A and B are shown apart, each in its own frame.
Chain A
Amino acid sequence: MGIKGRLRLISLIPIILLFFISSYLLYNSYIVYNQTEEIKKRLELNTYISDVITQVAKERGMTSIYLGSKGKLIKESLQQQREIVNKSINRLNKYLKSHPKFQKESKTYISSLKLLPEMRKKIDSLNIDFKKAFFDFYTYTINAPLINEIKKIEYFAISPEISSLATTYIQFVNSKEFSGIERGFISYVLARYTPMSDEEMKIWNQLIGKADSFANFSLIVNSTKEKIEKVLKKEDAKEILDDVSQTRVDIQRAVNDGIYPVDPTLWFNLQTEKIDIILKGEKILKDDLHLNVDNIAKTQLYTLIVSALVWFFSILVSIIGFFLARGIYKNINRLESVLKKVAESETIVQEKGEIESKLDLNTTEGINTAYEILETALKKAENAKQYAEEASKAKSMFLANMSHEIRTPLNGIVGFTELLKNTDLNEEQKEFVNIIEKSSENLLEIINAILDLSKIESNKIEIENIVFDPINEFENAIEVYAPKAAEKDINLALFIDPNLEKPLKGDPTKIKEVLINLVSNAIKFTDVGGSVSVEIKKLGNIEGKAKVYFEVRDTGIGIPAEKKAQIFEAFSQADISVTRKYGGTGLGLTISSEFVRLMGGQLNLESEVGKGSKFFFVLELEEIPTLTESLKDKYSGIKVAYYINESEPKDHNQYIKEYLEFLGVSFIPHTSITDLIADYSSYDFTILDYDYIQENNLKKFFARNIPVSLISKISHNKKVENFSDSLMRIIYEPVNYTKTKQLMQYYIGEYKKQKAKETKTLDISKIKFNAKALVVEDNAINQKLIKKTLEDFGLEVDLANNGLEGFEKRKNGDYDIIFMDIQMPIMDGIEATHEILDFEEDYGQQHIPIIALTAHALKGDREKYLGEGMDEYITKPIIRDEIAAILKKFLSDKIVTKEEKEYKKKREQKPQKETFILPDELEVEKKDIGVDYDKDILIAKKTLLESKLFKQLTDSLEYSSDIASSFDDLIDKISTKKYKIVFIDKEIDNYDLEKIKELKNSAKQETKYILFIDPNNEPTNEEIDIFDEIVKNVINKDLLRLIIEKFVSKGV
């Protein structure tokens, strides 16, 4: 049998079984239930019939007396009884009317009953034989059919109990009837008062047997049995039954002579009483029968309902099953057809021939064929995959080799061309060398593009994740194109947001490649006199990452809308004519777009034909906190004038403004040269653009000794060099931030020959860390490098040669930070980290930060190392700024200044029991401090609370001090008392610099004034002049001590 067949069997057979069983049960219970209903109805009917029988029996009995007395006795009672009988028959008829079924069956006995009136007439006219009336008519014609009707209940043997009850019930009915017959018959004999004939004796004996049969009932229903026995065994019942027996005996004794000692009426009444007892029994039986039937009915009904439900359920399930099965068949068929297709495919046919004809999912062999097909298919696929993998591998190897093979000779060309350039060459040779250089650079560009593209296609591009200085890197990249732009007289402007002064983490190489590609394209496709502007702006920060916006826009030929989509596709340019005119491979944008995508951004384009194009993208790059000071507002106070030719606006005008303003410089634009010259006193120096100004105007500036910084394109360098002596400085386009910065530095440093106002702010870049580091690295050189760098930062460094040593050292020593190389013999960095972490957990040791040293610097590597338990990672070769950032992050509480470090060293050398230890110099000079001063220190902080805190500090350093509660109080105290040092909080209310200035100038003593300012603010120049020291609000006891000692020691 096929699978389908088996499925069918499995799914349908149980359901069908269920269906049939439930059908049978349903049918059965229905039948039985119906039967119970019928029984109940019958019982009801029987009640009516039984009543008729009883009454008819009575009538019969009375009739016998009547006939016996030749109509003299009980005429009236007989009439009454007849009425009763009629009423009873009416009730029966009424019942039958409402029960057509019974009515049909009642024809026999109803028609008999209809003979009653006639018979009665005969009886009334005494025109009938006793026996005829008594036996023939009443007994056989009337009552017998009635009893037969009652007996029908015996047919409903729906249960043994019912059967038993019914049988007993009929028994009682019979007994009742025969008792009635006996009653009437013997009454007649007693009334007649003659001896009984033998025949009559026989009849009587028969009657006795039947009349008493009720006493021997066998009933399996015990409850009913007990009830009946109770009735029969009751005192009075027993008495009556005994009396009957006794009376019988009396009569029987007298049958021969006819001298019966029993009055017929007595006998009649006695027998009636007996009949009553039988009736009682009959009623009990009928009731219990009813009850039983009811119970059965209930059960059957219940069964009926349940089996009906099961029946429906089985139908439902079989329908569902049918559809499910159909679904499965469908699937099997689909599978079969799919497999057939596979079998028909070339590869299979090749191997296995016409196997698809043997495919049949229904049979075992058919399935085996299917397995065969699948196995073959898999094998083929496996082979194909292997083959493809090998091909891919070969391709990659080829790529790698090619890359190397191609780059190597190119390397030689480029390298030696450079060297050649730097040797002595004549003009012609120089020209030739330049051409060679350009050609080789072009070649290099093309080859890189091709290799990059093939790498992109084989998904071999990896994005680095290393630290770089964005301003530096990008400025350098763009700078390369300065000559090219200048050649075409294109204004090349570069704006790099000075806010990007913090180092970033990313792939600078790729970003630069993209920028170079875009700038190169821009310059290529822009006509003479146009402009190309590059803007790199910081949009904001998201979770420690800087959002950097890159844009390259030009005023070139533009890109038509239809071509915009294609432009990023490989090898397409706007059209062939473009390639002819402008050259290029057309690969650049594809690669750039891919690089940007891999770095998490998207290269976008806006362009209008004839107006220009704008390429832009946004990248999110991690920011590295730096320890170098921000240059923001560093050159505040300097005013610089700038000339803008409104008819020829240049992008870099805006950029220069932003750079200068970031540095704190006041940017004063002028639109007229004459005004600019005239206003010379209102600014420190001016920046002019060689594109805007002619030589004669320039000379005017020189004449007035106005310092000029000149912006020029590199193509004009020969000309511009001519006035280099008169110029303060020359800046070549593109003017970038660095150049602007350098300009300001130059101005301050060299030009003005003033020492850069060291605002005596504690130079944060000289910050050291008082900490101990463990370096775990197997390479001796790397060890030296890292050790040197860390020691530069003031750390003490221990070395370990492998993971195991490192682990041991960490266990025994107390370090503040661990640098862990990854690749090491014996135990590598990851394992060692695990060991250390386990150790720390087991022994409850505080965790020492572990920094991974790795050459891997790809996206996603950070998570990998952090997952292994490291706290951070830095790439090899190590970069100072990165180390600085790491140290700042993990050892911020160990920061210490340089002086403090030295001081601490000395302190360690001379442990003394004094509360504070002064270096040698201080000790000496302290003696010089005279007793002129009232107190050492006067404290004037913004709030009294702060002052008190401050006082606590100075008290602990064992200096005497006073607190000024307000600025006025401060003035007061200074005027009246002598202090060595006065600490003033700039934030104090009524802070008045002038007043302090007055005080300071008027004071005779050499009181030192020290200003506390908010760390985010910068002091004004005036403040710098007036105060001896300006401190950013850092409440560090050691710092404070140093400051105080600085001035107290220098004292008098």
Chain B
Amino acid sequence: MKFFIILILPFFAYASFFREGIVHYKQKNFEAALQAFQKAASQENSKNAYYFLGLFYLKGLGAQQDLDKAEKYLQIASSFGNERANCLLAEVIILKYKDFDKAKKILINGKKSGAYECQQIAKKYKIKL
């Protein structure tokens, strides 16, 4: 399967690392995805790639959990308007800084923008929005 996708990938007009990363991510090949997203972030200037990087480092997908990297990446993604990144950032803040208030604020904003992850995280950490 992996092999097949790699074969097909070049035929996509918009063959890009970001896309590659997403494909890997969907197929739960988190290491490959992480690599792809890293390339996407650095070479393609893909903003949303930072979200995935942040996600991976937060959840420890394809790499060891690293809250600092996660925070860094998620902040970048958030600054580019990625709402989901905001939600995850909230979680990072909770995990790293144990600042529930700040996190709450972010989560409320995030909910507004339609990112359901924020609701999930709020549920997880039992924060009322």
Contact = CB atoms under 8 A, between A and B. Distances in A.
Whether A and B touch (Cβ < 8 Å) is answered with yes
A707 interface: no
Nearest to A250: B14
B114 A197 contact: yes
A191 B49 CA distance: 11
Nearest to B80: A69
Contacts of B84: 193-194, 258
Interface stretch (B19-27, B60-68, B94-102, B120-128): B19-27
Contacts of A259: 22, 25-26
A194 B115 contact: yes
B14 A260 contact: no
A628 interface: no
A264 B48 CA distance: 9
A67 B77 CA distance: 14
A70 interface: yes
Interface string B82-124: 1111000000000000000000000000000111100000000
Contacts of A195: 114, 116
Contacts of A69: 79-81
Contacts of A266: 14, 16
B59 to A, nearest CB: 15
A265 B46 CA distance: 8
A514 interface: no
A261 B114 contact: no
A190 interface: yes
A190 B14 contact: no
Contacts of B81: 65, 67-70, 72-73, 188, 191-193
A68 to B, nearest CB: 3
A243 B13 contact: yes
With a 10 A CB-CB cut-off, give which of A67, A193, A197, A239 has the most chain B CB atoms. A193
B60 to A, nearest CB: 19
B42 interface: no
B18 A263 contact: yes
Interface in B18-57: 18-19, 22-23, 25-26, 44-48, 51
Given A68-B81, A73-B80, A193 B51 contact: yes
Interface residues of B, number: 27
A542 to B, nearest CB: 122
A265 B79 CA distance: 15
A574 interface: no
B52 to A, nearest CB: 9
A132 to B, nearest CB: 14
Contacts of B83: 192-194
Contacts of A239: 13
Interface in A184-205: 188, 190-195, 197
Interface in A231-288: 239, 242-243, 246-247, 250, 258-266
Given A69-B80, A69-B81, A73-B81, A263 B16 contact: yes
A73 B85 CA distance: 16
The number of chain A residues touching the other chain, given as a range, is 20 to 34
Contact of B18 (A70, A242, A258, A261): A261
Contacts of A194: 83-84, 113-116
A68 B80 CA distance: 7
Interface residue SS majority, chain B:
helix
A262 B16 CA distance: 9
Interface in A840-872: none
Contacts of A73: 79-81
A261 B19 contact: yes
B14 A192 contact: no
Nearest to B40: A263
Contact of B47 (A67, A70, A191, A197): A191
Nearest to A270: B14
Contacts of B25: 259
With a 10 A CB-CB cut-off, give which of A72, A250, A261 has the most chain B CB atoms. A261
A261 B113 contact: no
Nearest to A187: B81
B47 A243 contact: no
Given A69-B79, A258-B84, A247 B114 contact: no
A246 B14 contact: yes
B90 to A, nearest CB: 14
B42 to A, nearest CB: 14
A194 B23 CA distance: 17
Contacts of A260: 48
Nearest to A195: B114
Contacts of B115: 192-194, 258
A260 B113 CA distance: 16
A190 B81 CA distance: 9
A265 B77 CA distance: 14
A261 B80 CA distance: 16
Contacts of B18: 261, 263
A266 B40 CA distance: 13
Nearest to A192: B83
B114 A190 contact: no
Nearest to B85: A193
A261 B22 contact: yes
A985 to B, nearest CB: 139
B40 to A, nearest CB: 8
Nearest to A242: B13
Contacts of B23: 261
B48 A263 contact: yes
Given A194-B114, A261-B18, A70 B79 contact: yes
Interface in A628-678: none
Contacts of A261: 14, 18-19, 22-23
Contacts of A190: 48
With a 10 A CB-CB cut-off, give which of B22, B45, B51, B85 has the most chain A CB atoms. B22
A261 B46 CA distance: 10
Contacts of A246: 13-14
A293 B40 CA distance: 52
Contacts of A193: 48, 51, 77, 81-85, 115
A878 B79 CA distance: 153
Contacts of B77: 193
A190 B13 CA distance: 18
Contact of A263 (B46, B79, B113): B46
A1003 to B, nearest CB: 157
B82 A247 contact: no
B14 A262 contact: yes
With a 10 A CB-CB cut-off, give which of B51, B81, B82 has the most chain A CB atoms. B81
B14 A243 contact: yes
A70 B45 CA distance: 18
A51 B72 CA distance: 41
Contact of B82 (A191, A197, A243): A191
A285 to B, nearest CB: 29
B80 A263 contact: no
Contacts of A68: 80-81
A262 B47 CA distance: 10
Interface string A193-230: 11101000000000000000000000000000000000
A201 B114 CA distance: 14
Nearest to A243: B13
Contacts of B113: 192, 194
Contacts of B16: 263, 266
Contacts of B19: 250, 261-262
A188 B14 CA distance: 19
Contacts of B45: 263, 265
A460 to B, nearest CB: 130
Nearest to B82: A193
Nearest to B12: A246
Interface string A21-36: 0000000000000000
B19 to A, nearest CB: 4
9 contacts: A69-B80, A191-B47, A193-B77, A193-B83, A193-B84, A193-B115, A194-B114, A250-B19, A261-B18
Given A193-B51, A194-B83, A259-B22, 6 more contacts: A67-B81, A195-B114, A246-B13, A246-B14, A261-B14, A266-B16
Identify the 3 closest CB pairs spanning chains A and B, nearest first.
A68-B81, A191-B81, A72-B79
